[in-house]
Amino acid sequence: MTTATEAPSHDEKGHIDPAAAVVTAATVPVQTRSERFRSFDPEAFERPTGREVNWKHTPVARLARLFDAADPQTDGVTVTVSPTTDAAASARGDVFRPEDLPSAIAWAQSPEAVSVVVDGEHEVPIRVDLVGTGGRATAHVVIEARPHSRATVLLDHTGTAEFAENVEIVVRDGADLTVVALHRWADDAVHAASHQARVDRDAHLRHIVVSFGGGLVRVNPSVELAGAGAVGELYGLAFADAGQHLESQVYLHHKGGHTSGDVLYKAALQGDTARTVWVGDVLIGPDAVGTDSYEANRNLVLTSGARADSIPNLEIETGDIVGAGHASATGRFDEEQLFYLQARGIPEAEARRLVVIGFLAEIVQKIGVPDLEEQLTAAIEAELAGEDAR
């Protein structure tokens, strides 16, 4: 998206001033996440070409149907919430503002939001099962954690579809909410998701994105720490195989005072043309005094031909902070770790498996649900076994 420009200047005889035309015809590209254009109207967005700052790492041709507002929605995804609740979540739009074309289309084509309300304390995770049955589909999910409530909400994506999804998260004062978005799509699935959250005073949100399946999965989590003392933890895990494109563009906005944030995304890549993209933007606003924030991205490339793009960005608008920083690293196996394990009698293949499991386990263990952690560990094992089979 670019800024609007004025018409070129004319002199008193009506001639165009060439110098003025050059200046005014120039467009100024959006450089930071906070400047991105937002609108509920799909017609307000231009169709992405792949040259835009927020699309230049994405194979936009594979998302073609999700850019078509005239393409009617189908019943390509069924959504089930368990356990259900009689209470209704906040009306959609309390937090959410579409910032790209697929999210604006999903807004327009999903007037009835899927409602998830957290009231009190839930020991068992609330499940939102999204099962793709083929075709094109959209959905808008609203998750509201009432004041001082506590729960884990699991968004589990399976099957296949061309799916544009909005997830709107409201964490009220003193609430403690964990949201896990798990992507176990079939190989031909295409999924573009926009997650937007607001965390109020003394509330805590742990947001985790786990991507294993799907041909193209693009998840953009955006979290605003609005209330004083709010805490945001944004974690991600991806395992990309040949032909897969797994992407996350993360935005953490420290708005309230004395907020803290921790962002850590990890990815493992195996097979030719396996691709991951991570863009991390952190904004510490002018009123966010006492902020403590850190973001990092780590990528482990297991085979030649795989590619991981990693772009951390940090913007600070106040000098009164506790600390802020970012880091990024992409590399192959640590030969010292392999040597250490092999020196103790562990075969090379098993040593490599242990290194990968240990690398990704840090994210898995942050979920805090033992059954789900076991499932994800088994899924990582299956991914590694698939590589061995090839």
Higher confidence at residue 167 or residue 349? 167
**pLDDT at residue 87 in the model:** 83
User: Is the distance from CB of 223 to CB of 239 less than 8 angstroms?
Assistant: no
User: CA gyration radius for the chain?
Assistant: 22
Instruction: Please report the beta strands in 189-259, taking only residues with DSSP state E, as ranges in sequence order.
Output: 190-199, 204-211, 216-225, 231-240, 245-254
Is 0.85 surpassed by the pTM of this model?
Answer: yes
pLDDT band at 28, cuts 50/70/90?
Answer: low
pLDDT at 160 over 60: yes
What is the per-residue pLDDT across 248-276, written as a single tens digit (0 to 9) for each? 999 999 999 999 999 999 999 999 999 99
**pLDDT at residue 30 in the model:** 57
**pLDDT at residue 40 in the model:** 96
* Residue 190 CB neighbour total at 10 angstroms: 24
What is the per-residue pLDDT across 45-79, written as a single tens digit (0 to 9) for each? 999 999 999 999 999 999 999 999 987 777 789 99
Q: Which of 58-72, 167-181, 360-374 has the highest mean pLDDT?
A: 167-181
What is the per-residue pLDDT across 82-132, written as a single tens digit (0 to 9) for each? 998 778 888 899 999 999 999 999 999 999 999 999 999 999 999 999 999
pLDDT at 26 over 60: no
The greatest distance separating any two alpha carbons of the chain, rounded to the nearest whole angstrom, comes to 88
CA-based angle 156:238:117, to the nearest 5?
A: 30
Tokens 């998840």 belong to 219
Q: Which of 14-18, 26-30, 263-267, 374-378 has the highest mean pLDDT?
A: 263-267
What is the per-residue pLDDT across 186-195, written as a single tens digit (0 to 9) for each? 999 999 999 9
